[in-house]
Amino acid sequence: MSTAKFREETRVWIEENCPPGARGSGQIPFGSRQVELEADTALWLERMAEKGWTVPTWPKAYGGAGLERDYYEVLIDELKKAGARTPLTGRVVNYIGPTILEFGTDAQKQKWLPICARGEGAWAMGYSEPGAGSDLASLNTRAVRDGDRYLLNGSKMWTSDATLCDYIFVLVRTSPEKPKHEGITLMLVDMHQPGVKVSPIQLISGASPFCETHFEDAVVSVDDVIGGVDRGWTVGKRLLQFERSTHAGINISGSQGGRSEESKMPEWVGDYVPKVSGKLSDPALRKWLTEFEMNSHAQRLTQRRAIEELSSRAPGFTSSAVKLTNALNIQNGDELLVAAMGHQGLRWDVQTADQQELAVLQKWLYQKSLTIAGGTKEVQLNIIAKRVLGLPD
């Protein structure tokens, strides 16, 4: 089928099948069995999963639609035009799913991927530990073989959304006697078992999306080791590239179009800024805004080029470069918005503040984390220097 015909058919299908409650902004489910979805959202997830469009580029045998990149882009474009919400997002379709596709055995793919594609269970990410963040290979959570299972002991830090998750993929130490990068394994763990305990970490904002996840003789089947015992550093780094390419807006595994929309100035910002004859009166702000618009455009073109050059669902080390520039550009946009709004961009009075103004401040603060999550800015710069530019250690 030509892409033009596919576009037309897709447009009509979305029009007929996307319920009103699944359009516009709002909750984007990530498949938690512990969250009851509103009716329209649940219906949208079900219809998209039936079509294979929660994971459009995955093979049909595993719950995808087997779309080539050109068709995938048409689909994303039409979903955006219709204002249709992403039916399923996050770690399940963007991180662990493509990792299982790349490294899993046939049996593992048959077991896990259809579950992922239908959004039957949310996944947490168990990488960081109290003593292992940037230096991830220092991790100490132990997995010891016990017959046809492993017993896990240790703690993971900053596990986002862990209270809502059903499964967790973890990097664990299987061979402590080996050099640190060579004794690590990636495993899939069911969180609904007595050996897994989750403690929310209270943040200054009062919200607790972060958790500490403890394993005390948690049980993992030997069948749920992904990519082989002691091969976790290779598998785990690839998963990080899937994560970083998601942050970069260039992961084509799930049915979302990336984060580029976040680097657009909202039109209403004009209401806050003094103008003379329709032009911003402050020349410094004008220059900043122009540069931001140019950088955002360049970022979008770079994302597009990166996607066009893909031979997989995500690129390798260039993910680090696009993740970093995307994060810096988004943060610059947040700074610009707060500056343009003047004192109204800094509303601390939670009870009385205008909600739109308050949201600007909260976003400005929250998105500071974009240069930490998924690997810090400094770590990305190290990767770019060594792996992309080939500079010496």
**Which residues of this chain interact with ligand FAD, rule CB under 6 A?**
125-128, 133-134, 156, 158-160, 369, 372-373, 375-376, 378-379, 382
When the beta carbons of 21 and 133 are compared against ligand FAD, the nearer one is 133
Q: Closest distance between ligand FAD and the C-beta of residue 288, in Å?
A: 26
When the beta carbons of 256 and 371 are compared against ligand FAD, the nearer one is 371
HEC string for the chain = CCHHHHHHHHHHHHHHHCCHHHECCCCCCCCCCCCCCCHHHHHHHHHHHHHCCCCCCCCHHHCCCCCCHHHHHHHHHHHHHCCECCCCCCHHHHHHHHHHHHHCCHHHHHHHHHHHHCCCCCEEEECCECCECCCHHHCCCEEEEECCEEEEEEEECCCCCHHHCCEEEEEEECCCCCCHHHCEEEEEEECCCCCEEEEECCCCCCCCCCEEEEEEEEEEEHHHEECCCCCHHHHHHHHHHHHHHHHHCCCCCCCCCCCHHHHCCCHHHHHHCCEECCEECCHHHHHHHHHHHHHHHHHHHHHHHHHHCCCCCCCCCHHHHHHHHHHHHHHHHHHHHHHHHHHHHCCCCCCCCCHHHHHHHHHHHHHHHHHCCCCCHHHHHHHHHHHHCCCCC
When the beta carbons of 360 and 379 are compared against ligand FAD, the nearer one is 379
Whether the CB-CB separation of 169 and 239 falls below 8 Å is answered with yes
Q: Closest distance between ligand FAD and the C-beta of residue 353, in Å?
A: 24
When the beta carbons of 125 and 361 are compared against ligand FAD, the nearer one is 125
Q: Closest distance between ligand FAD and the C-beta of residue 158, in Å?
A: 4
When the beta carbons of 137 and 151 are compared against ligand FAD, the nearer one is 137
Q: Closest distance between ligand FAD and the C-beta of residue 171, in Å?
A: 8
**Number of neighbours of residue 230 by Cβ within 10 angstroms:** 17
When the beta carbons of 110 and 134 are compared against ligand FAD, the nearer one is 134
What are the C-alpha distances in Å from 309 to residues 74, 164, 252, 314, 325? 17, 36, 12, 10, 18
| Amino acid residing at 298 | A
Q: How far apart are CA 375 and CA 230, in angstroms?
A: 22
When the beta carbons of 27 and 138 are compared against ligand FAD, the nearer one is 138
When the beta carbons of 160 and 325 are compared against ligand FAD, the nearer one is 160
Q: Closest distance between ligand FAD and the C-beta of residue 272, in Å?
A: 28
Whether the CB-CB separation of 356 and 268 falls below 8 Å is answered with yes
Q: Closest distance between ligand FAD and the C-beta of residue 332, in Å?
A: 18
Q: Closest distance between ligand FAD and the C-beta of residue 149, in Å?
A: 23
Q: Closest distance between ligand FAD and the C-beta of residue 15, in Å?
A: 36
CA angle 318, 337, 28 (to 5 degrees): 60
Q: Closest distance between ligand FAD and the C-beta of residue 282, in Å?
A: 33
Q: Closest distance between ligand FAD and the C-beta of residue 130, in Å?
A: 8
Residue 275's φ and ψ, nearest 5 degrees, are -130, 155
Residue nearest to ligand FAD (CB): 133
When the beta carbons of 350 and 365 are compared against ligand FAD, the nearer one is 365
When the beta carbons of 43 and 373 are compared against ligand FAD, the nearer one is 373
